[in-house]
Amino acid sequence: MPHIDPHLQPIETQMRQLRQRIHAHPELGYEEYVTSDLVAERLLQWGYEVHRGIAETAVIGTLKKGTGTRVLGLRADMDALPILEKTGLPYASQVPGKMHACGHDGHTTMLLAAAKVLAQDTPFDGTLRLIFQPAEEGLAGARRMIQEGVLEQFPCDALFAMHNMPGYPAGTLGFRPGAFMASADQVKVTVHGHGGHGAMPHQCVDPVVVCASIIMALQTIVSRNVSPQDMSVITVGAITAGKASNVIPDSADMLISVRALNDTVRERLEAQIKHLIHAQADAFGASAEVHYSADYPVLVNDPAMTEFATQVALDWLGADQVLTDIAPFNGSEDFAWFLRERPGCYLIIGNGEGEKSCMIHDPRYDFNDDILMRGAGYWIKLTQAYLASRT
């Protein structure tokens, strides 16, 4: 791959091995003990001030050069997923049921590779803050770090993070100003009816029929209550009720996933889902308990920071390697919380096409080591541009 930083070239093999080592030893959210030890050891070795203890396993590395007062924060996630790996690779997960299926092994390695070169070979003027975060997958490690005061203890003027994306050409960098990743909320619903004999439904209130009606009614929210211009998704991913064909159960449970790309739509979805579930249940003489949990917020890239980050990529790689206005994703990402606190940008790096296009969270997915140096190189360029001497 062209445009490799000359200081990264000699450590490429070492970094591929490191990535594969992390891959073979995946750890789930808030349990990244071995991974965070490895990260902290390296950072200390390269002269970073290292802080631990936030959000269980987070590692913060700080390096100051020159007299600049600006502070740049770069974040990588470290956690794996509860998936049984099916890649058959020689460095496949050694822990059955756990797998780096989202490429966080690669994100951690890219930031470490950049950390080494930035400490040893690259001038900059200001403070570089490296944030190695636990528990991105569903457990909101970013929110916990913020709640535990990471940004007060370790202030940053701007924050950036990068995620690999299968299906895009290997090493291509992709940017989008504004809303980029969807919010993800979860709703737990219990419909209480009145159970009884399956042959005498008139003496019961059947919660299964109430759920069926709720599920169909929910489909009208996206089509009738939200503008066709706005993205929204309501998915009933789980429904559980009853055990026998001739028994009407007392209650039925549903789990619903809700996605949107802006807060107005998100609020509208929440209000309408609650209203509709209660109204439907009421119409049948049943009742419903609705637990609406607002999980990951919409990820919004700061326009000015995104323009800056895009320009750094364009100056380095040229227009054919940079996508300046990619479409938003319906997936979600907990870096959204960091971007609610500080301006910054979340960008993607193409993981490759063809055999490298297997989607993240698939048991056959693997991070593409060919893009390690591109990602690391970008962090170096971004750091030099953001922490440029202002004299």
Q: How far is the CB of 300 from Zn ion (least distance, A)?
A: 18
Integer Cα distance of 330 and 287 in angstroms: 32
Q: How far is the CB of 53 from Zn ion (least distance, A)?
A: 24
* 120-149 positions binding Zn ion, by CB under 5 A: none
Q: Select the span of 47-55, 97-105, 291-299, 312-320 touching Zn ion (CB under 5 A).
A: 97-105
Instruction: Enumerate residues 6+ apart whose C-beta is below 8 A from 135.
Output: 29, 30, 32, 55, 56, 79, 141, 144
Token output for 104: 């966080």
Integer Cα distance of 73 and 5 in angstroms: 21
Q: How far is the CB of 78 from Zn ion (least distance, A)?
A: 11
Q: Select the span of 52-60, 94-102, 238-246, 293-301 touching Zn ion (CB under 5 A).
A: 94-102
Q: Please work out the total of residues on this chain that contact Zn ion, with binding judged by CB under 5 A.
A: 1
Integer Cα distance of 373 and 129 in angstroms: 20
Integer Cα distance of 163 and 166 in angstroms: 10
Integer Cα distance of 69 and 314 in angstroms: 26
Q: How far is the CB of 3 from Zn ion (least distance, A)?
A: 25
Q: Select the span of 32-40, 57-65, 84-92, 102-110 touching Zn ion (CB under 5 A).
A: 102-110
Choice between 102 and 281, CB closer to Zn ion: 102
Choice between 63 and 102, CB closer to Zn ion: 102
Q: How far is the CB of 227 from Zn ion (least distance, A)?
A: 29
Q: How far is the CB of 101 from Zn ion (least distance, A)?
A: 7
Instruction: Enumerate residues 6+ apart whose C-beta is below 8 A from 112.
Output: 15, 18, 39, 42, 43
Integer Cα distance of 7 and 5 in angstroms: 5
Cβ atoms of 314 and 269 closer than 8 Å: no
Give, in order, the Cα–Cα distances in Å from 179 to each of 119, 160, 299, 312. Answer: 33, 15, 6, 21
Q: Select the span of 20-28, 96-104, 182-190, 383-391 touching Zn ion (CB under 5 A).
A: 96-104
Choice between 132 and 386, CB closer to Zn ion: 132
* 150-209 positions binding Zn ion, by CB under 5 A: none
Choice between 40 and 102, CB closer to Zn ion: 102
Name the residue with the smallest CB distance to Zn ion.
102
Choice between 135 and 305, CB closer to Zn ion: 135
Choice between 8 and 181, CB closer to Zn ion: 181
Q: How far is the CB of 76 from Zn ion (least distance, A)?
A: 10
The gap from C-alpha 21 to its chain's centroid, in whole angstroms, comes to 22
102 part of the interface to Zn ion, by CB under 5 A: yes
Cβ atoms of 319 and 168 closer than 8 Å: no
Q: How far is the CB of 138 from Zn ion (least distance, A)?
A: 9
Choice between 210 and 360, CB closer to Zn ion: 360
Choice between 35 and 272, CB closer to Zn ion: 35
Amino acid at the residue 102: C
Please report the beta strands in 46-85, taking only residues with DSSP state E, as ranges in sequence order.
49-52, 59-65, 71-77
**Positions that interact with Zn ion (CB under 5 A):** 102
